[in-house]
Amino acid sequence: MYRKFYGLKEKPFNILPDPDFFYLSPWHQQAITHIEYGLMNGDSLILLTGDAGTGKTSIIYKLIVDMSEDTIVGVVFNTAVAGDAIVEMILRELQGPIPENPTPASCMAALQKFLLGIYAAEEKKVLLVLDEAQTLSDEALEQVRMISNLQAGKENLISILMVGQSGFRSRLRRARYSQIVQRIVVSAHLGRLREQEVNEYIYYRLRQGGVDDPSTIFTDEAVKKVYEYSHGVPRNINVICEGALIYGFADDIKPITAEVVENFSKERIEEGLLILPSTVDTYDSDITAEYIEDIQRRVASLEKSQDIVKRTLIRIIKTIKRFTLSK
């Protein structure tokens, strides 16, 4: 509808994950690097968390594309299932043989045999992705832990990437999950984009959409408003930019102004259709508090060190003065 008016070949702000429009922020690059390292190292459990809309699913799709040649990738998007059904679901997703009259025990045995066959053939690595992992029941988590224990000698037969919202980390910190936490060697967290990254995100997607000069589509002030109302959440950025383009097209406005962005954003907020995260990132508040305390200790230590340095310098200066006067 608005593409011809703005000189676009494709819609740049579709909220559905698209590897061609995937902006690799420092957060996302770090997460992918951690996951790739964990898979290369043969780690059994890998954890990826982040607030809603920060790009976890986009990373999953990118992994599927990038790893399809040398890795068997299975993705379970609906993890809100009973604990006795999760193993069969995983076996089906990996396209393994399903036993007659399947039970959790027979499915686990079939899964182990299937993975041993892949390992013996030295064909590919196996990566299982459990999306929305925070919905896993305690029973299902226990089954996941048991799958992560499947080994051939000293090597793990499968790597499992658990992808969940920020609160999933807090849940795993409880004592009853200690056994599964002990097996998580690699973890990453997706934070919100900073102002400069929001700017780069918008410009990147506009260029992918076919625009040579993104500044002809959004003014600098408009981009700042997108950052202000999106809180750095990629899904919010897409929603706001898409809506602003529709509003701008309807009123023949080019480039999009800060007023257009603000009017659309306020309307979405009033309708309750725009995610408004808290000003503090929800990433494990306990860990955040510990981090802040650690920083405060470091600052206090640094200030103490600076006082020592100052006193030392003063003594050196006094010594030099005395030496000079004595001569």
**CATH number where 155 lies:** 3.40.50.300
Number of structural domains the chain divides into: 2
Q: At what angle do helices 104-121 and 86-93 cross, to 10 degrees?
A: 30
116 burial type by CB count under 10 A (0-12 exposed, 13-18 middle, 19+ buried)? middle
54-72 tens-digit pLDDT: 999 999 998 888 888 889 9
250-289 tens-digit pLDDT: 999 999 999 999 999 999 999 888 877 654 444 444 444 4
For 86, half-sphere exposure in the C-beta direction (CA atoms, 13 angstrom radius) is: 25
Residues 68, 108: one domain?
yes
Residues 54, 199: one domain?
no
* Residue finishing a domain among 127, 155, 190: 190
- Print the domain residue range for 63: 26-190
| Residue 57 is assigned to a structural domain of this protein | yes
127-170 tens-digit pLDDT: 999 999 999 999 999 999 999 999 998 899 999 999 999 999 99
Residues 164, 30: one domain?
yes
25-34 tens-digit pLDDT: 999 999 999 9
Dihedral angle sign, alpha carbons of residues 240, 242, 243, 249: positive
| Residue 310 is assigned to a structural domain of this protein | no
Residues 183, 199: one domain?
no
CA dist., res. 265 & res. 48, Å (int):
29
* Residue finishing a domain among 174, 190, 206: 190
187-197 average pLDDT score: 94
User: CA dist 221 to 8, 218, 228, 267, Å?
Assistant: 21, 8, 11, 19
Tokens of 178: 């200690």
Q: Which CATH number characterizes residue 7's domain?
A: 1.10.8
Residues 136, 217: one domain?
no
Residues 181, 247: one domain?
no
| Residue 278 is assigned to a structural domain of this protein | no
Residues 180, 210: one domain?
no
Residues 35, 91: one domain?
yes
Residues 227, 134: one domain?
no
Residues 243, 232: one domain?
yes
| Residue 157 is assigned to a structural domain of this protein | yes
